[in-house]
Amino acid sequence: MRTLGYFAVWIALILATLLQLVIFGGVKASNLRVISIMVLAWLQASLVVFFYQNVLKEPKGVSMLYLASFLTGSGLIIGMILSITHAME
Amino acid sequence: MKVRIYFKFKGRIIVLSPITAQWDWLFILYATIGSIVGAIVIGFLIYSSIKYKAKGEREPKDAPSLGKIPAERGTMKVAFVLTLIVAGILFTITLGTMQTVDLIEKPPKGSLTIEVHAYQWGWKFIYPNGKQVVGELRVPKNEVITFKVTSDDVFHNFGLIEFKVKGDAIKGKINTIWIKPSQAGVYTIQCFELCGIGHSWMKGKMIVMEPEDFDRWYAE
Amino acid sequence: MDSSLTRWLFTTNHKDIGILYLVTSLYFLILGGALAILMRIQLMLPNNQFLSAGPFNQAVTVHGLIMVLWFLSPLAFAFANYIVPLQIGARDLAFPRLNAMSYWFYLFGGLLAAVGFFTPGGAIDTGWTVYAPLNTLNYSRQLGVTLGGAGLLMLIASVTMGTVNFLVTIFRLRAKGMSLFKMPMYSWGILLTVFMMLLAFPSILAGVIMLVADRLLGTLYFLSNEGGAILWDHLFWFFGHPEVYILLMPGLMAIAEIFPVFARRPLYGKRILIFAAIIGSAMSFIVWAHHMFVTGIDPGFRKFMTITTEAISIPFGIITLCLILTLFRASIRFKTPMLFALGSLALFIVGGITGVFNSSVALDYNLRGTYWIVAHFHYTLVGGATGGLIAALYYWWPKMTGRMYSERLGKLHFTIYMIGFNLLYFPMHLLVDMPRRVAVYSEEGSLWLNNYLSTIGSFIFAISWIIFFLILLKSLRNGKRAESNPWGSWSLEWMVPSPPPYHNFDVNPEVESDGTIKVINANGGSVESETHNVHLSKGPLMVALGTFLALLGVSLSIFILLIGSIIFAIALFGWAKENILGRFVIREPEVGERWPFSSICNMKLGVWFFLFGEVVFFSSILGGYLFIRANSTSWPILGEVFDLKLASINTFLLITSSLTAMMALNFIRKGEQRGLKLGLLLTFALGLLFLINKGIEWEELFKHGFTPSSSLPATIFYTTTGIHGAHVLAGLIVLLYLLVRAYKGGFSRENYDSVEYFDMYWNFVDVVWLFIFPLLYLI
The 10s digit of each residue's pLDDT in C427-447 is: 999 999 999 999 999 887 778
Residue B5: the pLDDT is 39
Nearest-angstrom CA–CA distance, A86 and C297: 9
Vertex B63: Cα angle to B59 and B68 (nearest 5): 140
CA distance A33 to A39: 10
Q: Is residue C352 part of a domain?
A: yes
- Residue-wise pLDDT tens digits, B11-43: 455 688 989 988 988 999 999 999 999 999 999
C residues 203-222 closer than 8 Å to A (CB)? 203
Which CATH number belongs to the domain containing residue C659 in this structure?
Answer: 1.20.120.80
Banded model confidence at residue C739, pLDDT cuts 50, 70, 90: very high
- Rounded Cα distance, B187 and B145, in Å: 14
The whole-angstrom separation of Cα C61 and Cα C116 is 12
Best CA proximity match to C405, nearest among C476, C458, C299: C476
Contact (Cβ atoms closer than 8 angstroms) between residue B9 and residue B16:
yes
The whole-chain average pLDDT of chain C stands at 93
Residues of chain B with C-beta less than 8 angstroms from the C-beta of C353: 34, 37-38
* Contact of C280 with C316, CB cutoff 8 Å: yes
* B-chain residues near A89 (CB < 8 A): 148, 174, 176
Residues of chain A found within 8 Å of residue C663, distances taken between Cβ atoms: 3, 6
Alpha helices in chain B (DSSP H): 18-51, 76-105, 211-219
pLDDT at C519: 83
pLDDT in tens, C668-727: 999 999 999 999 999 999 999 999 999 999 999 999 899 999 999 999 999 999 999 999
Task: Report the pLDDT value the prediction gives residue C701, as an integer from 0 to 100.
Answer: 93
The answer to whether residues B132 and B39 belong to one domain is no
Taking only the tens place, the pLDDT of each residue in C36-76 is 999 999 999 999 999 999 999 999 999 999 999 999 999 99
Provide the b/e sequence for C418-447 (b: ≥16 CB within 10 Å).
bebbbbbbbbbbbbbbbbbbbbbbeeeeeb
Mean pLDDT, rounded, for C5-24: 94
CA distance C484 to C494: 6
Residue C737 has pLDDT above 60, yes or no: yes
Residues B150 and B174 in one domain: yes
- Same-domain status, C665 and C765: yes
Judgement on whether residues C576 and C647 belong to the same structural domain of the protein: no
- Residue B3, pLDDT score: 35
Residues B199, B116, single domain; the answer is: yes
Mean pLDDT to the nearest integer, C191-210: 97
Q: Which domain holds residue C701?
A: 634-778
The whole-angstrom distance between A61's CA and the closest CA on chain B is 26
Q: Are residues B128 and B175 in the same domain?
A: yes
Instruction: Please report the pLDDT score of residue C587 as a whole number.
Output: 65
State how far the Cα of C303 lies from the Cα of A83, in Å rounded to an integer.
11
Q: What is the pLDDT of residues A36-45, one digit of tens each?
A: 999 999 999 9
**Which residues in chain B have Cβ-Cβ distances shorter than 8 Å to C489?**
64, 66
The mean pLDDT of A5-10, rounded to a whole number, is 95
Distances (CA, A) of C178 to C138, C274, C614: 56, 16, 30
For residues B77 and C585, the model is more confident at B77
Which residue among C524, C548, C574 closes a domain?
Answer: C524
- pLDDT classification of C261: cutoffs 50, 70, 90: very high
Please tell me if residue B88 touches chain C, with a CB cutoff of 8 Å.
no
B120 and B157 part of one domain = yes
Across C303-328, average pLDDT: 91
Q: Is 60 exceeded by the pLDDT of residue B4?
A: no
Nearest to C648 by CA among A49, A20, A46: A20
Contacts of B150 in chain C (CB under 8 A): none
Which chains are within 8 Å of B by 3+ CB pairs? A, C
CA atoms within 13 A on the CB side of C712: 22
Is the pLDDT confidence value at B51 over 90?
A: yes
Q: Which 3-state string (H, E, C) describes chain A?
A: CHHHHHHHHHHHHHHHHHHHHHHHHHCCCCHHHHHHHHHHHHHHHHHHHHHHCCHHHCCHHHHHHHHHHHHHHHHHHHHHHHHCCCCCC
Confidence of residue A9 (pLDDT cuts 50, 70, 90): very high
pLDDT of residue A1: 61
Residue C498 and residue C402 in contact, taking contact as beta carbons nearer than 8 Å: yes
Judged by CB atoms closer than 8 Å, whether chains meet at C659 and A6 is answered as yes
CB atoms C366 and B23 under 8 Å: yes
Same domain, B160 and B94: no
Q: Is residue B159 part of a domain?
A: yes
Judgement on whether residues B116 and B150 belong to the same structural domain of the protein: yes
pLDDT digit string (tens) for C70-117? 999 999 999 999 999 999 999 899 999 999 999 999 999 999 998 889
CB C616 within 8 A of CB A74: no
C334/B53 touch (CB, cutoff 8 Å), yes or no: yes
C260 and C154 in a common domain: yes
Please indicate whether, in this complex, the C-beta atoms of C234 and A80 are within 8 angstroms of each other.
yes
Which chain C positions have a beta carbon within 8 Å of B64's beta carbon?
A: 260-261, 264, 266, 488-490
B101 or C770, higher pLDDT: C770
Q: Is residue B138 part of a domain?
A: yes
Q: Are residues C564 and C680 in the same domain?
A: no
Q: What is the average per-residue pLDDT within C546-562?
A: 92
- Considering the domain architecture, whether residues C472 and C575 belong to the same structural domain is answered as no
Which tens digits make up the pLDDT trace of C605-643? 999 999 999 999 999 999 999 999 999 999 999 988 888
User: Counting one residue from A and one from C, how many pairs have CB atoms under 8 Å apart?
Assistant: 161
Q: Are residues B89 and B141 in the same domain?
A: no
Report the Cα B146 to chain-centroid distance in Å.
18
Is the alpha carbon torsion for C567, C568, C571, C572 positive or negative? negative
Q: What is the pLDDT of residue C746?
A: 87
**Closest approach of chain B CAs to the CA of C397, in angstroms?**
18
CB contacts under 8 A, B 92-131 vs C, are: 93-94, 96-98, 100-101, 104-105, 120
Residues of A in contact with B174 (CB under 8 A): 89
Cβ–Cβ gap C264/B60 under 8 Å: yes
pLDDT band at C3 (very low <50, low <70, confident <90, very high): low
CA–CA distances in Å: residue C464 to residues C225, C456, C458? 47, 13, 10
Q: What is the pLDDT of residue A86?
A: 64
Report the alpha-carbon distance of residue C367 to residue B113 in Å, rounded: 24
Asked if B176 is an interface residue toward chain A (Cβ–Cβ < 8 A), one would say yes
Helices (H), C185-298: 185-217, 228-263, 270-283
Q: Is residue B174 part of a domain?
A: yes
C127-151 confidence digits (pLDDT tens):
999 999 999 999 999 899 999 999 9
User: A17: which chain C residues are within 8 Å (Cβ-Cβ)?
Assistant: 648, 651-652, 655, 773
Q: What's the total number of domains in chain B?
A: 2
Is the CB of C306 less than 8 angstroms away from the CB of B94? yes
Tens digit of pLDDT for each residue in C366-392? 999 999 999 999 999 999 999 999 999
Distance from the Cα of C568 to chain A's closest Cα (Å) equals 31
> Same structural domain for residues B126 and B206?
yes
Q: Within a domain: residue B5? A: no
Residue range of the domain that includes B140: 112-219
List the single best residue of C360, C484, C492 to mutate versus B (max B Cβ within 10 A). Answer: C360
Q: Do both B191 and B120 map to the same domain?
A: yes
Instruction: Report if residue C590 sits inside a domain.
Output: no
Which among C378, C465, C469, C463 is positioned nearest to C428, based on CA atoms?
C378
Q: Please report the pLDDT score of residue B162 as a whole number.
A: 92
Asked whether the predicted pLDDT for residue B118 surpasses 80, the reply is: yes
Asked whether residue C655 falls in the same domain as residue C548, the answer is no
Interface contact C182-B69, CB threshold 8 A: yes
The closest of C20, C135, C32 to C77, measured between CA atoms, is: C20
Q: Give the Cα separation of C424 and C431 in Å (integer).
A: 12
Write C411-415 long-range contacts (CB < 8 A, 24+): C411/C336, C411/C339, C412/C467, C413/C336, C413/C464, C413/C467, C413/C468, C413/C471, C414/C336, C414/C339, C414/C340, C414/C343
Whose CA is closest to A53, among C642, C760, B97, C214?
C760
Does C499 sit behind a cis peptide bond, omega within 30 degrees of 0 on the bond before it? yes
Reported as a single tens digit per residue, the pLDDT across C441-466 is 988 777 899 999 999 999 999 999 99
Q: Does the structure show a pLDDT above 60 at C531? A: no
Based on the domain organization, do C294 and C344 belong to the same domain? Answer: yes
Residues C496 and C642 occupy one common structural domain: no
Do B120 and B206 reside in the same domain of the chain? yes
**Residue C455 is assigned to a structural domain of this protein:** yes
Predicted pLDDT of residue B2: 33
Residues C220 and C118 in one domain: yes
C663 shares contact with chain A (CB less than 8 Å): yes
Residue B58 maps to a domain:
no
Q: Is A43 on the interface with C (CB under 8 A)?
A: no
Report CA-CA distances (Å) from C112 to B18, C274, C729.
51, 38, 25
Band of pLDDT at residue B178, cut at 50, 70 and 90: very high
The answer to whether residue B39 sits within a structural domain is yes
Give the confidence band of B80 by pLDDT, cuts at 50, 70, 90.
Answer: confident
Are residues C501 and C543 located together in one domain of the fold? no
CA distance A34 to chain B (A): 28
Q: Do residues C165 and C130 both lie within one domain?
A: yes
Chain B environment of A83 (Cβ under 8 Å): none
Is pLDDT at A76 greater than 80 in this prediction? yes
With a cut of 60, say whether residue C526 has pLDDT above it.
no
CA–CA separation, C626 vs C632, rounded Å?
10
Q: Is the previous residue joined to C596 through a cis bond, with omega within 30 degrees of 0?
A: yes
C5 occurs within a structural domain: no
How far apart are the C-alpha atoms of C581 and B121, rounded to whole Å?
Answer: 62
pLDDT for residue B211 is more than 50: yes
Residues A81, C599: C-beta atoms closer than 8 Å: no
**Cα gap C307→C302, rounded to integer Å:** 9
Q: Determine, yes or no, domain membership for C742.
A: yes
* Percent of chain C residues past pLDDT 90, beyond the cut: 83
Q: How many domains does chain C have?
A: 3
Q: What is the mean predicted confidence (pLDDT) over C389-404?
A: 97
Per-residue model confidence (pLDDT) at position C525: 42
pLDDT at C628: 96
What does the alpha-carbon distance between residue C214 and residue C140 come to, in Å, rounded to a whole number? Answer: 12
- Asked whether residue B8 is domain-assigned, the answer is no
Give the whole-number percent of chain B exceeding pLDDT 70: 94
What residues in A contact C683, CB-CB < 8 Å? none
Q: ipTM > 0.95? A: yes
Among the ranges given (C214-228, C454-468, C494-508, C518-532), the one the predictor scored with the smallest mean pLDDT: C518-532
Helix or strand holding residue C376 (H, E): helix C371-378
Q: What is the pLDDT of residue C598?
A: 83
pLDDT band at B91 (very low <50, low <70, confident <90, very high): confident
| Distance from chain centroid for Cα C197 | 6
Beta carbons within 10 angstroms of residue C40's beta carbon? 20
Q: What are phi and psi of B195, to 5 degrees?
A: -130, 20
Residue C96 belongs to a domain? yes
Quick one: which of A59, A76, A66 has its CA closest to C767? A66
Q: Are residues C455 and C567 in the same domain?
A: no
Q: Is the pLDDT of residue C593 over 90?
A: no
Closest CA to B146 of B154, B158, B136, B155: B158
CA distance B171 to B117: 9
Q: Which of A32, A72, A82 should be substituted to probe chain C, the one whose Cβ sees the most C Cβ atoms within 10 Å?
A: A72
Judge whether residue B7 has pLDDT over 60: no
Q: Who's near C547: CB < 8 A, 6+ residues apart?
A: C105, C108, C154, C157, C564, C568
In DSSP notation, C713-767 reads: HHHHHHHHHHHHHHHHHHHHHHHHHHHHHHHTT---SS--HHHHHHHHHHHHHHH
- Indicate whether B95 and B179 sit together in one domain: no
Average pLDDT, chain B: 88
| pLDDT reported for residue B93 | 83
Q: Count contacts between B and C (CB, < 8 Å).
A: 280
Q: At what angle do helices C336-358 and C387-401 cross, to 10 degrees?
A: 150
B62 part of a folded domain: no
